[in-house]
Structure 1
Amino acid sequence: MPTKELFANLLALGLIEKDEEKWILTKEGEKAGGDYKESPQYGKYIVWPEDLNLNPPNTTENKPSPNLLTATAIGQAFELSANKINFILSELGWLNKGLKGWIVTEQGKKQGGIQAEDRKSGIPYVRWPDLIIESKSLIETIGQVKGTDDTQPAQAVDNGTDSETEPVGFRDKFEAKHRSADGHFVRSKAEMLIDNWLYMAEIVHAYERKLPIEEDVYSAFYIPTGKVYIEYWGYENDQKYIARKAKKIEIYKKYGFNLIELQDKEVQNIDDILPRLLLKYGVQAY
């Protein structure tokens, strides 16, 4: 294994971290048997036990998995090209496209993704635990891309609605009847203004995109470029709504998703506020 790939694996496993220009052991690295040694020529460096396990301890279902798959192998399982698989993984928020190759994101690391690079070209790519092909989020997204997905968004969590306790009540009460400039039908005038703004700013976005998690939770808007979700919060005088909103925000925090929250006052000044908020996630408007 090339040295760079080894360090990428150790970093992805949380065994080391960078302190300025030096690698240092984390607490997990010390538990795994990592230790320091001194060299008169090279200074302090890290040594590891011979039986160090470099396989990710968890996969998408928290089960050990000794096998790692490339995008090519995943594509073979779903009859798609490696390039298409990488773009799907990027849309899910698990990859970022580099100048060349692909870089695993923090969300990707939580799925067991390990950064690697081609030995000859040095182009980065990501390897995945074999159980990634059983990921509900991946299977659903591939189904949507191939046009074979039968999932209906009626069981979604929208604006704080929990599918387990109120699967269709919110959607029955607030029908998506406001048509945006790009053809999306949304559920309120405020959402229509947000959708129109994104469309006019030429920012690719999805409406009511399911979060890439096991729970049936849907965002108001999703921008794949910055892996950022946008939620519009209304009905602040409704206690049930406030409780559902708090629960949904907790889900965003639990998984570490990028979230922009908008209320009526932000929507009224959307031209000034939203570009600044998007820029924090690398999304440039205009």
Structure 2
Amino acid sequence: MDTLTPTQIGEKLSKTAKEINEFLSEINFIKKCNSGWELTDLGKKNGGIQNNYKGNLSVYWKTEILNNKIFKNAVEPQEVKDKDETDFRNKFKAEYRTNDGHYVRSRAEVIISNWLFGECIAHAYEKRVPIEEDVYCDFYIPKGKIYIEFWGYEDDEKYLARKQKKRELYKKYNLNLIEIDNSKINNIDDFLPRELLKFGINLN
């Protein structure tokens, strides 16, 4: 069976082994541990092979990893082609400016972004979720690999269908998700610290 190390994968993609492992970690194929890199269940399903050399953990990959859609999207994100996602982004324009210069699609997202910025939590807005399906998250926090979704349009049928689809995808890929709705946005100072703590971010 042909396998590749992160170094060999990197050589083919003009990346370093460190960058390759960071991509694989971001998509939850591997996770960092005291002994190196540990293979996750999702990584195992996608061709990862755990290697333990004198207590140092690393992961080899079947050559198919080079054609793996999730991995390829992480290395070089593709434009989303999903019609529902595109329709949503066209309908709700990013017109609200936040304190750190992002333009977001609602006043509630301004509140979330400004809160994260005020707490010095590095975050991205509308980052492509590194999965096979075409999905953008509302916010992404690299520390803890946390995705935040704000659900605001409860009277729109297409929006509710999109919401359900996205929730199922977060669950399918076992991603860290914080969900905020209109009732929680007014209590964000209490709500978000509790939720972040579940994923290892302590603001105290």
TM-score normalised over the length of structure 1: 0.65
Moved more, 199-208 or 78-87: 199-208
d(CA) in 1 for partners of 2:186, 2:89:
24
SS for the counterpart of 1:230 is strand
- Determine if the alignment matches structure 1 residue 281 to structure 2 residue 185: no
**CA deviation after TM superposition for structure 1 residue 100, in Å:** 4.6
Query: Structure 1 residue aligned with 2:68, among 135, 155, 158?
Result: 135
- Cα 1:215–1:197, aligned 2, differ >3 Å: closer, same or farther? same
Alpha-carbon displacement from aligned partner over 1:228-247 (angstroms, at most 9, x marks no partner): 21110011122332222112
1:26 aligns to what? none
Find out whether 1:107 has 2:42 as its counterpart.
yes
Residue type of the alignment partner of 2:70: S
Deviations 1:149-173 (A, max 9, x none): xx335x4xxxxxxx24x35322222
TM-score by length of 2: 0.88
Structure 1 residues 239 and 272: CA distance shift in structure 2, 3 A: same
Partner of 1:74 in structure 2?
Answer: 9
Runs of 4+ in 1 over 4 A off after TM superposition: none
Rg comparison, structure with higher value: 1
Among 113, 125, 130, the residue aligned to 1:195: 113
Greater helix proportion = 2
Over 3 Å counting, the alpha-carbon distance change for 1:202 and 1:253 in structure 2 is same
Percent identity among equivalent residues? Answer: 48
Contact 2:184–2:191 (Cα < 8 Å) also in 1:
yes
Cα RMSD, aligned residues only: 2.1
Correspondence for 2:19 among 84, 108, 112: 84
Whole-Å separation in 2 of the counterparts to 1:167 and 1:231: 14
1:42-71 per-residue CA deviation (whole Å, 9 max, x = no partner) reads xxxxxxxxxxxxxxxxxxxxxxxx323221
8 Å CA contact 2:125–2:139 kept in 1: the answer is: yes
Q: How many residues align?
A: 204
How do 1:1-286 residues align onto structure 2 when only pairs under 5 Å count? 66-119=1-54, 122-143=55-76, 151-153=78-80, 155=81, 163-164=82-83, 166-286=84-204
Does the residue aligned with 2:38 lie in a helix, a strand or coil?
A: strand
8 Å contact from structure 1 (residues 203, 285) kept in 2: no
2:95 and 2:104 in contact (8 A); partners too: yes
- Aligned-partner residue type, residue 108 of structure 2: A
How far apart are 1:253 and its partner, in Å? 2.1
User: What is the DSSP-based 3-state SS (H/G/I as helix, E as strand, rest coil) of the residue aligned with 2:42?
Assistant: helix
The residue type equivalent to 1:184 in the other structure is: H
Structure 1 regions of 5+ residues with no counterpart?
1-65, 145-150, 156-162
